[in-house]
Amino acid sequence: MSASDAALVVVDAQESFRRRPYWRDDDAQPFVGRLQALIDGAKAAAIPVVQVFHVADSGPFAKNSGFVRTLEPLAIAPDAIFRKRRHSGLDVWLIENGVRRLIVSGIRTEQCCETTTRHASDLGYAVDFVGEATLTFPMANAAGREWSSAEIRARTELALAGRFARIATVEEALLGRPEEIAA
């Protein structure tokens, strides 16, 4: 595999999330910086960028809400755009474009990003999960304990590491997988 076999998938990095009560600007700022570095690095390395938007029938995720658009201030010129309610049909595009390795980023770490990673792995793709380029929000469990964004990300990375994905930094994902670099 090489950079030409890879694609960056930006999952649900959309304005819709700003309209949710759990949105936190302080968590979003470092995420936006790392995701922008990943997008810019992918473009510089000629790695195609795929943007995925979540859509729903109503609320801030509805197509007609005006919020199903790129999260500001991200600058992204995607090679392909998919809108999804569940699975996006992305696999057909990946096969047609000879993609064998996915670099996963976006919003929410433990939901759509983790699901995308697991699904891609099940389909036979090599996956780099770039946790620092994913965003989530604190959540409380049924017992009332609040789990921080950092704890949720750590749990997600623990569950994915070595089973479904390589956990990678922005720089590691852009360099490729170790076996690719050695070749």
Judging by DSSP bridges, how do beta strands 139-140 and 146-147 pair with one another?
Answer: antiparallel
Average of per-residue pLDDT across 146-164: 97
**Fold of domain 3-10+23-51+91-182:** Rossmann fold (3.40.50)
Average of per-residue pLDDT across 76-99: 89
- Does the pLDDT of residue 109 top 50, yes or no? yes
- Does the pLDDT of residue 22 top 50, yes or no? yes
CA trace torsion 92, 98, 100, 104 (10° rounding):
-60
Those residues with Cβ within 8 angstroms of residue 158's Cβ, 6 or more apart along the chain or in another chain: none
Average of per-residue pLDDT across 139-162: 97
- Does the pLDDT of residue 172 top 90, yes or no? yes
> Distance of CA 21 to CAs 13, 17, 87, 136, 170, Å?
16, 9, 25, 13, 29
Give the helix/strand (H/E) hosting 39. Answer: helix 25-44
Indicate the average pLDDT of the chain. 93
The amino acid present at 29, given as its one-letter code, is: Q
- Does the pLDDT of residue 64 top 60, yes or no? yes
Instruction: Give the predicted TM-score (pTM) of the model.
Output: 0.93
CA trace torsion 128, 45, 176, 156 (10° rounding):
-20
The full set of domain ranges for the chain reads 3-10+23-51+91-182
- Does the pLDDT of residue 62 top 90, yes or no? yes
